[in-house]
Amino acid sequence: MTSLPLIPATSVAPAARRAYMPPQHLADLDLAGRQALVTGLGEPAFRAKQVSNHYFGRLVRDPQALTDLPAATRERLADQLLPPLLTPVRELACDDGATRKALWRLHDGALVESVLMGYPDRVTVCISSQAGCGMACPFCATGQAGLTRNLSTAEIVDQAVYMAGVAASGVVAGSPPRLSRVVFMGMGEPLANYNRVIAAIRRLVSPAPEGLGLSQRHITVSTVGLVPAIRRLASEDLSVTLALSLHAPDDDLRDELVPVNQRWKVAEVLDAAWDYAARTGRRVSIEYAMIKDVNDQPWRADLLGRLLAGKLAHVNLIPLNPTPGSRWDASPKPVEREFVRRLREAGVSTTVRDTRGREIDGACGQLAAAEDNDTFTDRAGEAPA
């Protein structure tokens, strides 16, 4: 693992921190909104496109780099369209640079993380939709600290634009230079920040200069299962991939592992998922963290198989990633293999997710956005070059 250069961070005591939304940024607005803003400032409307082209087309986030704008215009527009939203606190890389995690400080001191994963055929960025998370899943590090606040649309989009710039710079060796996928699997529950997440998705899929021009199919929204929001998402004119964090096929256990299950039960959430699949034609991804002696029994594999057989679903098993203070471990490999075998026998397509980013606490469920985390420095110090 390599520890990349970082900007020194001043400590903000959580008690002294007030959660409030950041200034407006061009990524909060669609193109028409940006044009209205620009003309309101007394500038010609085409400036909106020009600045948007820099941001979404060339991935330029620094207003000083907008050298084709007259200096006075640049300053006026930079304030209104490109206020800095994410201040880098720390960047870590592992897997020879193919996995990179960025820790950001937001304007009010809140901290969030994003993770970039390069593969031979694609580059995926995992972004956060909230600072912290209110869903309280006991095996997830983000869930332990509670919710600080929702991110703004632009704070969500800017993570993807930044990481697209990292990919374009060529540092992700062995991967294409263009960001291909965005997964809402970082910190937070995306469907609990519904309107801003939907607006962010619209920015990600609109062609440049309005947006980043990604394919809808290459956007994944992962949820604990907020049923009304899943139904609402199905009624949008979007066909993004839905991932459902199921983790247990029975209500007894799911009530504990995913506490929101106490409100919306397994049967209800799967019903909403199948409606989503029917409306969009997209296969739903069922996320299932394999936790030793907790949810990995053969009978649970069989029950899950019965629930999913014949449905437009794919199971992603996630070996449990270690989190501080957790009493749980990942399932042993033979248990995992038997679980996979039983699901496949039931006719359910199943894969096991790689544990990308584990050594930089960047894997699923490990994002805690701790700024004074000694483990980071210790591990960075002893990492092979």
**Of the candidate residues 140, 198, 234, 369, the single one contacting ligand SAH (CB under 6 A):** 140
Give the end-to-end CA distance of the chain in Å, rounded to a whole number. 7
Neighbours of 382 (CB within 10 A): 8
210 is catalytic: no
Q: How far is Cα 178 from Cα 181, in angstroms, rounded to an integer?
A: 9
Q: Does 185 engage in binding with ligand SAH (CB under 6 A)? A: yes
Output DSSP code: residue 57.
Answer: I
Return the closest-CA partner of residue 217 out of 165, 182, 193: 182
Q: How far is Cα 99 from Cα 363, in angstroms, rounded to an integer?
A: 10
Q: Does 289 engage in binding with ligand SAH (CB under 6 A)? A: yes
Active-site annotation holder among 43, 91, 113, 210: 113
Q: Does 117 engage in binding with ligand SAH (CB under 6 A)? A: no
Return the closest-CA partner of residue 159 out of 210, 214, 200: 200
Q: How far is Cα 278 from Cα 270, in angstroms, rounded to an integer?
A: 12
Q: Which stretch binds ligand SAH (CB under 6 A): 16-24, 44-52, 219-227, 270-278?
A: 219-227
Q: How far is Cα 343 from Cα 210, in angstroms, rounded to an integer?
A: 43
Q: Which residue sits closest to ligand SAH, CB atoms considered?
A: 365
**Of the candidate residues 80, 180, 193, 323, the single one contacting ligand SAH (CB under 6 A):** 323
Write out the H or E segment, with its range, that includes residue 230. helix 227-234
Nearer to ligand SAH by C-beta: 77 or 135? 135
**Of the candidate residues 365, 368, 369, 376, the single one contacting ligand SAH (CB under 6 A):** 365
113 is catalytic: yes
Q: Does 224 engage in binding with ligand SAH (CB under 6 A)? A: yes
Which residue has tokens 């990349």? 4
User: Do residues 85 and 106 make contact, with C-beta atoms less than 8 angstroms apart?
Assistant: yes
**Of the candidate residues 193, 321, 331, 350, the single one contacting ligand SAH (CB under 6 A):** 321
Rounded to a whole number of angstroms, the minimum distance from the CB of residue 366 to ligand SAH is 6
**# residues near ligand SAH by CB under 6 A:** 19
Nearer to ligand SAH by C-beta: 1 or 140? 140
User: Do residues 129 and 171 make contact, with C-beta atoms less than 8 angstroms apart?
Assistant: no
Q: Which stretch binds ligand SAH (CB under 6 A): 145-153, 173-181, 277-285, 314-322?
A: 314-322
**Of the candidate residues 214, 269, 364, 368, the single one contacting ligand SAH (CB under 6 A):** 364
Helix, strand, coil fractions of the chain, as percent rounded to 5: 40, 20, 40
Q: Does 357 engage in binding with ligand SAH (CB under 6 A)? A: no
Residues contributing to the site for ligand SAH (CB under 6 A): 133, 135, 137, 139-140, 185, 189, 222-224, 245, 287, 289, 318, 320-321, 323, 364-365
Catalytic site positions: 113, 364
